[in-house]
Amino acid sequence: MRYRRLAVVLIMVLISFSSKAQRPMLCMPDHDDRLYYFGITFGFNTSVHRINYSNTFAETDTFKMIQPLWKPGFNLGLMGSLRLSSFIDFRFVPCLIFTEKRLRFQYGYPKDSISDRSIESIYMHLPFQFKFKSDRMKNFRFYGLAGGKLDYDLAANARSKRTDEFIKILPIDYGMEFGVGFEFYNPNFIFTPEIKISQGFANQLFRDAALPLTNAIDRLSTRMIVISFHLQG
């Protein structure tokens, strides 16, 4: 009888420890009460130019084909978030985005040759976003985001005097962004993978009559897919 009671006590103790071990510790429990918080962000992107062709492209045989191609890049920046309510934050995420966009075009008669040329950009990226959060599920949460952006291309060549330019790009772009992300709470920081689509509205084509490609394009805008990793405190 004595051994049976001891066995029962040991079993109860083991069950108690097991239930505590299976219960995850709530990390950063006071984080949701903060009015604002900061972080850093880094990640990768892929971008492309969207093209509207001019009447000249259809009416002449200067070019048979003009095709935009996706190319990879990377981004690095800071983050500031302001808590508006339990489910909405306002975010400002200034960063530098290094991108490369490629155009493939085929000359018509008499050359009939294909060329691939790159357009490199360094954007000072200034997005303003609203973040719509779910309820926190222990140490996990997901969210959606939507907002606008203002970009300035530090590498734009609109005023370049070089004779080997094939197209010229204006520096200012603006547009909208939307995406989703996931927050994983750790004892000292929040790890947040995120994916978003960024669409520019501005026509970035600088018209130069000396460049044949310019005459074949009516409008040039930018689309980008960005995968970011945020570390928030």
13, part of any domain:
no
| Separation of alpha carbons 89 and 86, rounded Å | 8
119, part of any domain:
yes
Predicted local confidence at residue 110, as pLDDT: 65
pLDDT band at 12 (very low <50, low <70, confident <90, very high): low
More confident residue, 24 or 127: 127
Domain that includes residue 177, residue range: 37-232
Cβ proximity of 67 and 57 under 8 Å: no
If you average pLDDT over residues 185-197, what whole number do you get? Answer: 96
What is the average pLDDT value for the chain, to the nearest integer? Answer: 88
Residue 78 above 80 pLDDT? Answer: yes
| Separation of alpha carbons 198 and 224, rounded Å | 5
- The one-letter amino acid code at 214 reads T
1, part of any domain:
no
| DSSP β-bridge partners for residue 114 | 106
Lowest mean pLDDT among 3-12, 112-121, 152-161, 193-202: 3-12
- Other beta carbons within 10 angstroms of residue 177's beta carbon come to 21
| Separation of alpha carbons 106 and 117, rounded Å | 11
- The one-letter amino acid code at 186 reads N
151, part of any domain:
yes
CA distances from 20 to 138, 140, 185 (A): 15, 19, 19
Residue 14 above 50 pLDDT? Answer: no
More confident residue, 159 or 197: 197
pLDDT tens digits, 88-122: 999 999 999 999 999 999 888 767 788 899 999 99
65, part of any domain:
yes
| Separation of alpha carbons 54 and 219, rounded Å | 8
Residue 224 above 70 pLDDT? Answer: yes
Q: Which of 150, 144, 148, 152 is nearest to 176 (CA)?
A: 148
Predicted local confidence at residue 97, as pLDDT: 97
11, part of any domain:
no
131, part of any domain:
yes
Instruction: Give the count of domains, the chain.
Output: 1
Domain CATH code at residue 185: 2.40.160.20
Q: Which of 226, 97, 201 is nearest to 154 (CA)?
A: 97
Cβ proximity of 169 and 202 under 8 Å: no
203, part of any domain:
yes
Residue 18 above 60 pLDDT? Answer: no
If you average pLDDT over residues 194-219, what whole number do you get? Answer: 93
